[in-house]
Amino acid sequence: MSKTWLDLWVGLFVVAGIGALLFLALKVGSMSSVRMADSYQVSAHFDNIGGLKVRAPVKSAGVVVGRVSAISFDDKTYEAEVVLSLDKRYAFPKDTSAAILTSGLLGEQYVGLEAGADSVKLANGDRLSLTQSAVVLENLIGQFLFSKAQEGAPNETAQ
């Protein structure tokens, strides 16, 4: 094997390998956590976040506009504090509300933003005051049973 051929093969190998890495980085993965610099952070308090996880998407009108960057528990209000990183390209009114929603019946949970009407826009470090907690299936079923039981109780006495 002459030296030129050897160099050529190794060159091709390296180019192909780097190409594969780029393919993985650009086509397969999302660069979200790399582009954190181009985002601004807002926080929101929820009574219950259900199964929400860090890195879950933040959507508005179904479009991904950011990601959940941190989740913590506030032991003063006994609420969950969720920090959202929103894409700098999208500005939201100050009275925007956040809700924890589920994609499909059993799908992953995400944060949905419903834009308000305020003329002042959200800025870095702001806090969303209007929030709607996750729907926890057990609670829902519990409520349903409870209301059924309440419905049934007066009937019984009437008979």
b/e sequence 82-93, b meaning 16+ C-beta within 10 Å = bbbbbbeebebe
C-alpha distances (whole Å) from 31 to each of 67, 90, 128 are 12, 17, 26
Q: Does 38 bind another protein (CB under 8 A)?
A: no
63 binds another protein, rule: CB under 8 A: no
Verify binding: residue 34, another protein, rule CB under 8 A: yes
Whether the Cβ atoms of residue 71 and residue 90 lie closer than 8 Å to each other: no
CB-based contact 58:67 (threshold 8 Å): yes
Residue 53 gets the label, from left (phi > 0), alpha (psi -120 to 50) or beta, of: beta
Position 14 contacts another protein (CB under 8 A) = yes
**61 lies in the site for another protein, by CB under 8 A:** no
CA 35 to the chain's CA centroid = 16
Is 117 a binding residue for another protein by CB under 8 A? The answer is no
Q: Is residue 6 within the footprint of another protein (CB under 8 A)?
A: yes
Taking CB under 8 A as the binding criterion, the range among 17-25, 37-45, 92-100, 116-124 that sits at the site for another protein is 17-25
End-to-end CA distance of the chain: 99
Interface segment toward another protein; rule CB under 8 A; list 22-30, 112-120, 124-132, 143-151: 22-30
| 77 lines the binding site for another protein (CB under 8 A) | no
**What is the binding site for another protein (CB under 8 A)?**
1, 3, 6-7, 9-10, 12-14, 16-18, 20-21, 23-25, 27-34, 53-55, 57, 64, 106-107
